[in-house]
Amino acid sequence: MTRTLTILAASAGLALAGCNSNTAPGNDKEAALEAPAKAVPHVTAGKALAGVANATLQPETMTPADLASLGGINGRCVFRMTEIGAPSFVYGGSSDSGTIKLNGKLITLASAGEGLYSADGLRLGLKPVDAKAKPGERREAELVVILPGAKDELGFRGYSQCPS
């Protein structure tokens, strides 16, 4: 019995010894790093949505470069489609506007009232789904996007969070 355990322990040790040379994709220590993504352009709502099929449009997540081009998210509120995803809509803070990523472009909309934003016929509404959160806490929210000329509005459930 002791001999069997010793052999099993030795076999496990030998098998684990090869774990430091993992060749799985993404674990290649010698591969060249890809250049960081560049920020997408900032354009007007009219230009970003020209010729786009409204039914296929939905908010996109912003890259770190997109967020940096907005001056970062410090001191601003964000709407994320998932609890841990990157922001799709950045609003508030020292600016009385919000920026959303649609059709691969950043579109800034002026505030049109509490939780409402508008530019070139594009309208956004952001409303909490659950009780008011304490500053800095994440809460469920709904982002409603009304595209110019669209018959229906688009609703997205996600999470909003404002700084403390």
Q: What is the pLDDT of residues 76-131, one digit of tens each?
A: 999 999 998 999 999 988 778 999 999 999 999 999 999 999 999 999 999 999 77
Domain of residue 80, residue span: 42-161
Q: Which pLDDT does position 163 carry in this prediction? A: 86
Asked whether residue 10 is domain-assigned, the answer is: no
Residue with more model confidence, 15 or 106: 106
Closest by alpha carbon to 121, among 100, 146, 86?
A: 146
**Over 60: is that where the pLDDT of 23 sits?**
no
Bridge partners of 163, per DSSP, are none
Count Cβ atoms within 10 A of the Cβ of residue 95 and give its class: 0-12 exposed, 13-18 middle, 19 or more buried: middle
Asked whether residue 18 is domain-assigned, the answer is: no
Asked whether residue 157 is domain-assigned, the answer is: yes
Asked whether residue 127 is domain-assigned, the answer is: yes
- pLDDT tens column, 40-64: 999 999 999 888 877 778 899 999 9
Confidence of residue 12 (pLDDT cuts 50, 70, 90): low
Residue with more model confidence, 5 or 132: 132
Q: What distance in Å separates the CA atoms of residue 162 and residue 138, rounded to the nearest whole number?
A: 8
Question: What radius of gyration do the chain's Cα atoms show?
Answer: 23
Total domain count, the chain: 1
Closest by alpha carbon to 97, among 68, 59, 71, 134?
A: 71
Asked whether residue 51 is domain-assigned, the answer is: yes
Asked whether residue 31 is domain-assigned, the answer is: no
DSSP state of 163: -
Range with the lowest mean pLDDT among 18-22, 30-34, 132-136?
18-22
Q: pTM here?
A: 0.75
- pLDDT tens column, 140-157: 999 999 998 888 899 999
Q: Which pLDDT does position 55 carry in this prediction? A: 72
